[in-house]
Structures are given as C-alpha cells and as structure tokens.
Amino acid sequence: MSRECNVLVAQSGGPTTVINASLAGVIERALMEVKINRIYGAEHGIQGVINERLVPLHQIFSGNKDRLNQLKLTPSMFLGSCRYRLPHFLEDISDYQRIFQIFRKYQIKYFFYIGGNDSMDTMDKLSAYAKQNNIDIAMIGIPKTIDNDLMGVDHTPGFGSAAKYIASSILEVSHDTFIYNTKTVLIVEIMGRNAGWLTASAALARNGYSRAPHLIYLPERVFSVSQFLLDLNEQLKHHQHVIVAVSEGLKDECGQYVASKNSQIDQFGHVTLSGVGKYLENIVQREIGCKVRSVELNVLQRCAMHISSLTDIEEAFSLGEYGVEAALLGETAKMVGLYRIANNPYRVSYITIPIHKVANQEKKVPLEWITPEGNDVTEDLIDYIKPLILGEPSIYFEEGIPKYIKLEAVLEHKQIYQSYF
Amino acid sequence: MSRECNVLVAQSGGPTTVINASLAGVIERALMEVKINRIYGAEHGIQGVINERLVPLHQIFSGNKDRLNQLKLTPSMFLGSCRYRLPHFLEDISDYQRIFQIFRKYQIKYFFYIGGNDSMDTMDKLSAYAKQNNIDIAMIGIPKTIDNDLMGVDHTPGFGSAAKYIASSILEVSHDTFIYNTKTVLIVEIMGRNAGWLTASAALARNGYSRAPHLIYLPERVFSVSQFLLDLNEQLKHHQHVIVAVSEGLKDECGQYVASKNSQIDQFGHVTLSGVGKYLENIVQREIGCKVRSVELNVLQRCAMHISSLTDIEEAFSLGEYGVEAALLGETAKMVGLYRIANNPYRVSYITIPIHKVANQEKKVPLEWITPEGNDVTEDLIDYIKPLILGEPSIYFEEGIPKYIKLEAVLEHKQIYQSYF
C-alpha cells in the first residue's frame, strides 16, 4: 500500500465566531491540493486525537461548496473544543506516543491546530517532540481568540467580530438608555480578563450624535472605585445619560479583581463571582443614587455570528488557506498570522512566526493607548480597531433564525460514522 | 387666521425595536394627507405635551424619504419616552387643562400615542375627558410592547423582533455550549415579568439538529426548584448539553419571585438582587455539580434592531399608517391592532378596538399552550409565534456599526429649534 499524504485539523480553546472560517479555509485549500489524499478533523481538539475521534472532512465537504460556505458562517467550533494541557514530553511521554501513533495510523503529513495561547503551547511541544524524533509532520498553528492577546501578530481572528458585536450592542443599549428624561448610568461589562482590547472596542460605538461610552476602564490600569465615582459625577454634570464600559478583569491597587469583592463562598468553599458590572451598579446606586443598570454582554460577544465582521471572516478563512500553503512549502513549528501593511486603506499580509515566540505569552493594550486619566482610550487605539470590524456577511436565515451547521447532524445525514467511531 | 388641522404624536413606555417604525408610518401617511397641515412630535410622551416640548416632524421628514426610512430602522424611541400615570380628571383636572390647552394652541386635530398598557390607560382617560367636554380631537392608540401582553389583538408590534433576537441568541449560545465534551447546563434568563410570551419564543431556536432549549419555564405556572432539578437530571441523562430558558418572573407556590431569594448582603450591609438565572445557576452548581453558566439577555432583547423581524417592522409601520387612516375616518378612543386571518400562509388584517377594552389589562400565555409537565410549550404556541419572526431588514451600516438616527442630532442639523424650545 502506497503511503498517503493526509491532513489532520482540530480546534481548541474558547469559541469565536470565525474559528470555523479558518477550518473552512484549511478544508477548501486542502481539497484543491492533488498532493493531499484525505482531510481528517479531530473532535474536541487534541483529545480527539488521543481518543481517535477523527471525522472524514474530505467526505463531508468534497463537492459541496454550499456546505463549506455554511461552515464558514457557523459560529463556535464545528469540531468541538477542549481545554487540555499537554505535559512536557520529558515529564510524561504517554500522550505523545499515543498522538504520533494516531498520526502514523492515519498517515498524517500535515497537522493544523486552530486555537489561542494554550493551543500554541500544545503545538510548540508537539513540534519539539517531532523534531527530537525526526518525525516529518508539518505542524502549523492557526490563531484565533476574541481577546486579541496573541504576540507576534497585528491582531487575531475572532477579535474583529467580537469588537463589532460589542460596539453595535453598546450603540443599541445607548438608544435604549437615551429615552427617559432622567439622569441614568448604564454599565456594560465586557470580556477580557487580562487584556483590554475587547473593552476598548466599545469606543467604536461613538458616532456623529453619541459619545457613548463616556468612560472606558481597561484591566491594564489599576481601577479605583473612588476615582470612578469622581469620573462619573463629572460626566453626569454634562450628560443626562452616561454609558460606562468596564472590563470583567478590572483589578484594584492590590492586584485583586474588583469583581471578587462581590463574591460569596458557597457550601463547597467555592467562590461564586458576580460580575464587576453588577458590583459597580450597586455602588452607583448607593453613592450617587441615580437610575443605574448593568448589562453583561456575556458569551454572545464570542458567538453572535449574526453581527460578525466580514473582514474578520475573510481573514480567518485566508489564514486557514495560508496555513495549508505554508505546510505545503515545508514550514513547520510555525503559527500563521497577519501583518498590517497600511491602515488607510487597510491592507494586511500573511506571515508565519516561530510558534515558540507565541506560546504562553499575552499581548496587552499598550499603556500609551489609554488616556492619562485611565478612563478612556486614545484615537490611535480606535484607528487600530476600526478596519477590523468592517463589512457584514450575508447570513443564511431559515424560518427566521440563522441557519448554521452541526457536525453530528452532518454525520447522520451522510451516514459516514465509520468503524473507528 | 384659518384653523389648521394638525397631528400630534408621542411615544411612551419601554422600548421596542419597532416603535419608530410605527412613528414613521404615522408621519408618512400624515405627510401624504392634504387635510393635514403640520405634524408635531411630543418629546418624552405625554410629559412632552404638558411641558410643551413639541418638535416639527413635518419639517424634519418632509421630502426626506431616506431619513424616514432610517427612522423606521432605528430602535427605541426617537421622541423619547416617559412613565407618567395621568390621574383621573375627576381627581385632578390640572394635567387635562394643560394638555388640551396645548392641543388648542397647536391646533391639534389628531393625537396618536404609541405605547403599551399604561399608555392606553392615558388615551382612555384623555378620550373620556374630550368626550365629556365635547372636544373634537381624534384619539388613537398604536400598540407596542415586546411583552405581547395587550388584550384584543393577535399580537403586539415589538414582540416578533424580540422573539427573533431571543431565538437566534439561544441558537448561538447553544453552539457556544456544544463545544466541550462535558455535561453542561446553560440557563438563559428572558424578560417578561408576568407574561411568558418572550420566554416561550426561545422554543423557536429549535431546528433540525438542536432541541435546545430543552426546558422552558414560564411565569404562568408555579415554579418549583425541586421539580426543576428532577427535570434537569432527566435531560442530562439524554443530552450532554442542556439549555434552559427561564422567565425573569418565575414565582414559587407562595407567589414570591424566585429571583428575590437570590438577594445577598454585601460588605456594607446592602441587599443586592441578581436574577433568577444566576440563582438557579448557583443551585445547579451545588446540587448537580456539573459545569453550569447563566446568561441574562437583558435589554438587548428590546433594542437589537440588527436582528429584528422584517414582518414585525412592516406591521408596526402599517399600524402607524392605519392609525392615521382611522383618525381621518373619524374614529376616536380606539386602539389599532392586528387580527390574524390565517397562519399558513400568514395573513393579518388591521382593526380598531375600543381603547377601554385594552387599557390596564394583561394577556398571558394560555395554560393549554404550556405542556402538562410545565417545562415546555406546545406546538400550537410555536405555530403562533413562528410567522412573527420572519424576514430580515436591510440595516444600514456605517464604519462597521449600525447607522441609526437621534432626534437631537437631526434638530441640530436642521437648526429648527424654535421659539417654543
């Protein structure tokens, strides 16, 4: 039997709206390549490799352009995800033996892992193991994370769509707040525990008639409740309605999460954490006494495909394609990424970065992009984010709700559950 | 000076995404009518009449079809809102004297009030006062409320868009939940304190591959935490991921809000109230111990124009037009509304209802549309809601965010602040 040349792809970490666009890019490019025989997807990331849960993506998508396009416009992970931290192979080799046994069995020549910091750590370790053992498999990481906190790239796929959701939602809840002729404070809590990129994107809600959000607090700066109340009172002098964007990860001068002050210990000794938004709402209620409400945007900011950025989707797709290109050219132990050539008009180029330069690091908002007062972001930061939210995809709707796809349903439909299932 | 024949229109109560579509319908139809000279809008509902805050909508929108279309696609109240309860004129006549003095001054012949239960109460009282005093002003109510709880009509404008937002969001957060290979419960808290229509609309998230939400609890039925845990355990036997839709207004057998049990005393001795979703999340965490998360859809369900129902927008607009028609035909003390002629294909007719039959009443979900177990809705209820969420409007986007309009900005632009401002 002649040796096949197969692709394996998997997804890992937290969801974004465009992580399937990257998967679609990998599949589309790999299907076009005569050198490649089969394309497998591992369910639930690296765990699906360990557990031999592989699905034949070539069967599912070959000759089905519509389905591939639907995958491109489906949020979250089509293949499922995991949060599994590989031990280093010098500590425990068993996972590695198992993973490379599966690679051999399925004749995998190219492995693509779509994920964030932790997934790049996995790829870094697998690459090191392959190198040490002279195993010739191209290992390419494809970035994704709404948090935009990956080093070595201009921005991450998933961020632009989350930013567009956040900015649009802030504008809409501002319209909701404008209506009553009474002093009102609205606090919007936004994801991003350590990096403030998502919270900063609230600034894109501003337009010709609205300055909301009037105050923005990122986790890169120490948060002081007393200063916040001073800032708020100042804004309330000038505006009937004040909208505030806060990061879930705000910390006080002792480095303690502000939200943790709102915690209770349950019977198991676990801390239940309500958000910082609710915490600040209660403080405003008590200290200022005006009408106040808090809104937590929650997981919708990472899965609301219906208001995603077309720029983001297309970049994520192209990064998937580019990953395959890079692998075919013999690159390995690399992450593909985006480099911004120009901002106006916006242009990017596709690059590869040694994966060890990315793994386990975190890119935060530079302090010079936060105003000296610590309660707003600068125009430079707004200019940086602005091109990333442009364009709206044409989402399919069926009976009034978005039409997405799900792996289990596709497998049932194609009846391609195989022996290894 | 010959007597003019002018229109006054105002908006009141809580926001919906389509309350401006009704306003646009009133304006468009009134602009076309040769009998009508001017169209005034009162800022902040009936309080704007009392305070003589009238804006010349004929100046703002005449000959500007684009702007009128933008109004139609802007969420929340363009004219602002109020929550002001008129005393009955037998108790206190001063508001009535003031309101009818303004009507005389601006030569108002037709008054339109776009609102919910309370606004119809205002119209009922104003109509009674006009009748008693032989004042010839047509008083027409135009319904709106996301809660769908108005009597005498098939459904209310605003409900369909909120239902579409809820169903689409449930589908998207389900995709977000599906990804991990661990037992997971997601609880989604939905608006509607007394009527369960909005929570019921979560059922429209179900499609060919997803039964989410697996459990639905409406406020029309007594909620028992122990039964909820039994229901949940049963679902967890069959499904890896269980999505639960709960109304914010769930009450226990004593008629007490379930959410009110969630109050905590913070470090300053103050009570903070989180929602029923958070409350149930903590219980599931404790009693079942699996991964659990709660999401509160919050105000976005009433202002997310970007995923509104085209059917809803068009009906709201037509009800505005129809209100003007009815007034021109001499009707008064009426609310306009929708009557469903057929469901498949969906057809409605436009009707008028004596306003006193609507005011201060509340239409709840019929108990026969809730399953005997009390944890789901019937197909009849789904069939009832389904046509209302159909169709997607073409929202304008500018620099990646929706393009809406705001009264203050338009007034500044037109420099039409007048002497009476």
Confidence bin at B269 (pLDDT 50/70/90): low
Q: Do B173 and A404 touch (CB under 8 A)?
A: no
Strand B6-11, strand A346-354: pairing = unpaired
Q: Do A286 and B268 touch (CB under 8 A)?
A: yes
| A336/B360: higher pLDDT | A336
Residues 6 or more apart whose CB falls under 8 angstroms from that of B250 comprise B217, B219, B223, B257, B258, B259, B276
Query: pLDDT per residue over B29-71, tens digit each?
Result: 999 999 999 999 999 999 999 999 999 999 999 999 999 999 9
Measured in angstroms, the CA of A134 and the nearest CA of chain B are apart by 33
Measured in angstroms, the CA of B314 and the nearest CA of chain A are apart by 15
Decide if pLDDT at B420 tops 50: no
Of A172, A262, A390, which has the smallest distance from its Cβ to B300's Cβ? A172
Q: Do A209 and B270 touch (CB under 8 A)?
A: no
Q: Which of A147, A149, A231, A312 is catalytic?
A: A147
Q: Which amino acid is at A247?
A: S
Cβ contact A32:A327 at 8 Å: no
Query: pLDDT per residue over B346-398, tens digit each?
Result: 999 999 999 999 878 889 999 999 999 999 999 999 999 999 999 999 999 99
* pLDDT score of A1: 52
- Three-class DSSP category at A88: coil
Cα(B334)–Cα(B124) distance, integer angstroms: 8
Confidence bin at A268 (pLDDT 50/70/90): very low
Query: pLDDT per residue over B181-223, tens digit each?
Result: 999 999 999 999 899 999 999 999 999 999 999 999 999 999 9
* pLDDT score of A262: 60
Cα(A130)–Cα(A355) distance, integer angstroms: 14
Q: Which of B95, B121, B124, B147 is catalytic?
A: B147
Decide if pLDDT at A156 tops 70: yes
* pLDDT score of B263: 57
Decide if pLDDT at A259 tops 70: yes
Confidence bin at B336 (pLDDT 50/70/90): very high
Cα(A315)–Cα(A306) distance, integer angstroms: 17
Q: Which residues in chain A have their CB less than 8 angstroms from residue B272's CB?
A: 262, 274, 278, 282
Confidence bin at B275 (pLDDT 50/70/90): confident
Query: pLDDT per residue over A35-94, tens digit each?
Result: 999 999 999 999 999 999 999 999 999 999 999 999 999 999 999 999 898 999 999 999
Query: pLDDT per residue over B92-147, tens digit each?
Result: 999 999 999 999 999 999 999 999 988 999 999 999 999 999 999 999 999 999 99
Cα(B118)–Cα(B96) distance, integer angstroms: 17
* pLDDT score of B264: 54
Decide if pLDDT at A205 tops 50: yes
Q: Which residues in chain B have their CB less than 8 angstroms from residue A208's CB?
A: 409
Please tell me if residue B167 touches chain A, with a CB cutoff of 8 Å: yes
CB environment B86-115: b (16+ within 10 A), e (fewer): beebeeeeebbeebbebbeebbbbbbbbbb
Cα(A218)–Cα(A233) distance, integer angstroms: 19
Average pLDDT score over chain B: 93
Cβ contact B249:B219 at 8 Å: yes
Cβ contact B150:B195 at 8 Å: no
Measured in angstroms, the CA of A239 and the nearest CA of chain B are apart by 13
Mean pLDDT (whole number) for A278-301: 94
Confidence bin at A421 (pLDDT 50/70/90): very low
Q: Do B295 and A293 touch (CB under 8 A)?
A: no
Cβ contact B274:A274 at 8 Å: yes
* pLDDT score of B3: 84
Cβ contact B377:B203 at 8 Å: yes
* pLDDT score of A306: 95
Q: Which amino acid is at B78?
A: F
* pLDDT score of A308: 97
* pLDDT score of B419: 39
Please tell me if residue B245 touches chain A, with a CB cutoff of 8 Å: no
* pLDDT score of A396: 93
Q: Do A75 and B176 touch (CB under 8 A)?
A: yes
Mean pLDDT (whole number) for B283-312: 95
Confidence bin at B259 (pLDDT 50/70/90): confident
The predicted complex's ipTM stands at 0.95
Average pLDDT score over chain A: 93
In the DSSP assignment, the letter for residue A26 is H
Please tell me if residue A396 touches chain B, with a CB cutoff of 8 Å: no
Mean pLDDT (whole number) for A318-322: 98
Q: How far is CA A122 from CA A12, A76, A138, A147, B337, in A?
A: 10, 20, 14, 19, 60
| Of residues B94, B80, B63, B71, the one with CA closest to residue B21 | B71
Confidence bin at A412 (pLDDT 50/70/90): confident
Of B168, B295, B408, which has the smallest distance from its Cβ to A209's Cβ? B408
Decide if pLDDT at A266 tops 50: no
- Three-class DSSP category at A155: coil
Cβ contact B190:B257 at 8 Å: no
